Chain A
């Protein structure tokens, strides 16, 4: 597996949509800057989009990974370009890249916090791997791990995309699947019912413990 250089990225960006090697990164604002001689040869800077999901204090004193969590756990905020979002110390927010990305089957990628951003103790990704065939604006789990609030301006470069060639891997282009198909804004996590999911691997319903419930009382009630 080798890192894909800018020249190859440029070649793939110019490929047509029916070309299996086609790569999409759009919009590439300041394109000349991105590909100018002397810029990083192994990565593309990505910008922060203007839509955010702010974590909301859940109705319960914890986040329970249920199908209802998506609507209860976040509040959507749109920050127009030129305006800013304050990320308080030790707080997190879900954002997305401004650029929409589509990877071909023979490339995978990784998102890294830009070094200048990282030095303000902003961590941009906790799930940084991008699978082949992925498409969408990348959801960024942004965390301010510093002791001071940090100002985030949508439209500024925040992370870097590094692409890797899967060498001779020739997997067939399949159908699109997954929970988040081609998202353009950060999307709240979607969970299936944990009780049903565990049942599939053999955990009996009687053993499933809901948070805040007494385990022994639960078991007794189920036995009766």
Chain B
């Protein structure tokens, strides 16, 4: 491991080194364990069988871990949006209870984002650790997968905070939310009554509700961290699937086994953006993700339960229960994550200036406004970049010789340049903050 994850090149984020070091120590302990095994088979078949089972379990567990080692090694500093991840980490650490959290990024071959649940890595690593007397998996380390195709890009990677939020759900708020889900579910479907079959059905419904609520929590948490940029990235991802899959349009309104209906998610984004105060700022924008949010605000009632859900559960389940949990969840997330008020005020003041910088191909890490020289905050930069690319990118194209507003290739070139400038601005602003704090 140590020979693969070199410390000179390629470089990784500290959290990745934490993962590699842990695996490294686990490898050492596993090798020692294997070396200490008896040289000859035991004459007692029971002992021999037990040992074989242990070895099989050990091999299978390492097999499971191996699925994530190469993708984690591929996510070196050049292949992740480093300044964005640092900014997100800083934001996450400000949330009560998340001060020590670190996020390891790995590359996914699918065009999707994912956070590995506890069972996929932590518990497998801990199972090995128990067998070979190794250390426990670092408790504050989460593993987030991003598509290979996105590696160091900026815009779509604004979906990463949703995956980070899964870890917050798992480690910090999950039990509180689950208990609230139980309370609300009990009001609609009392648990004490009914036959064993009905109780089994209720537990299926509870499972579904918890899955949907976790997804909604992660969406709302991500919006609290980065603002509307998350919704825009989500809209981009959803639109891509609407274009590529015919069946996706129907699924847009469908509550499935693993995800709530997209239309419900967008509707809740809209409500959360209103509650946080972002909506007043963005509601007049003309870009398509905004239109999608507004539209979902009107048609969210047309959702239905997917056919893949057990028909008994479908006939019994009252979807109003989900909306009641979401009402509570909106307030819960708003109170849990530090307020975005200052970021919103700064965004309103600074966007016109930042967009002028971007239109002139200038990195906006230091901007001059009426109040003097300012270094915008990460949330302001992230949302300003998103607004610029959605609404004002033609300003930049007009300023460049030989580039056309109507050319897809030119717009794509512009987007790539913008990503570089915004990531550079995020990096600069972090350096400026650290340098100010250490003085």
- List A residues at the B interface (Cβ < 8 Å): 13-18, 22, 24, 26-30, 76-81, 83, 98, 100, 102, 135, 137, 155, 174-177, 181-185
Known: A17-B353, A100-B424. A181 touches B373 (CB 8 A): no
Interface residues of B (CB under 8 A from A): 8-11, 76-78, 82, 353, 356-357, 360-363, 365-369, 372-373, 375, 399-402, 417, 420-421, 423-424, 428-429, 431-432, 435, 439
Q: How far is the CA of A137 from the CA of B421 in the complex (A)?
A: 11
Q: Is the CB of B401 within 8 A of A176?
A: yes
Given contacts A27-B431, A102-B360, 16 further A-B contacts (CB under 8 A): A16-B368, A17-B362, A26-B365, A28-B366, A30-B435, A78-B10, A78-B77, A155-B431, A174-B401, A175-B401, A176-B360, A176-B400, A177-B400, A182-B361, A184-B423, A185-B420
Name the residue on A nearest B367 (C-beta): A17
Cβ contact within 8 Å between A29 and B400: no
A62 to B372, CA, bound (A): 52
Task: Tell me whether B356 and A177 are in contact (CB under 8 A).
Answer: no
B-side contacts of A26, CB under 8 Å = 363, 365-366, 428
Query: Distance (Å) between the CB of B418 and the closest chain A CB?
Result: 10
Q: List 29 A-B contacts (CB under 8 A).
A: A14-B372, A17-B362, A17-B367, A18-B356, A24-B362, A26-B365, A26-B428, A27-B429, A78-B10, A78-B76, A78-B78, A80-B77, A81-B431, A100-B424, A100-B428, A102-B360, A135-B360, A135-B361, A155-B431, A175-B399, A175-B401, A176-B399, A181-B361, A182-B361, A182-B362, A182-B421, A184-B363, A184-B421, A184-B423
Q: Is the beta-carbon distance between A27 and B432 smaller than 8 angstroms?
A: yes
Nearest Cβ on chain B to A48's Cβ, whole angstroms: 13
Q: Are B417 and A177 in contact (CB under 8 A)?
A: no
Contact A100 B362 (CB under 8 A): yes
Question: Do A181 and B400 form a contact, CB below 8 Å, given A17-B367, A78-B77?
Answer: yes
Classify the secondary structure of A's interface with B: loop
> For residue B420, which residues in chain A have a CB less than 8 angstroms away from its CB?
183-185
Complexed CA–CA distance, A14 and B374 (Å): 10
**In the complex, A135 Cα to B369 Cα: how many Å?**
20
In Å, the complex CA distance between A79 and B82 comes to 12
Within the complex, the shortest CB–CB distance from A87 to chain B, in Å, comes to 13
A183 to B362, CA, bound (A): 10
Which residue of chain A has the shortest Cβ distance to B361 in the bound complex? A182
**Contacting residue for B401 out of A13, A155, A177, CB 8 A:** A177
Question: Which of these, B356, B362, B402, B429, contacts A102 with CB under 8 Å?
Answer: B362
Out of B366, B424, B439, which one reaches A24, CB within 8 Å?
B366
Pairs of residues from A and B, 9 with the lowest C-beta to C-beta distance, nearest first: A177-B401, A26-B366, A182-B361, A27-B428, A184-B424, A100-B363, A175-B401, A78-B77, A29-B435
Bound form: Cα–Cα A135–B421 in Å:
12
- Bound together, the chains give a CA A13 to CA B357 distance in angstroms of 14
CB-CB nearest in chain B for A52: B9
Q: Are B368 and A177 in contact (CB under 8 A)?
A: no
In the complex the two chains form, what is the Cα distance from A24 to B369 in whole Å?
A: 14
A134-B82 Cα distance, complex, nearest whole Å: 27
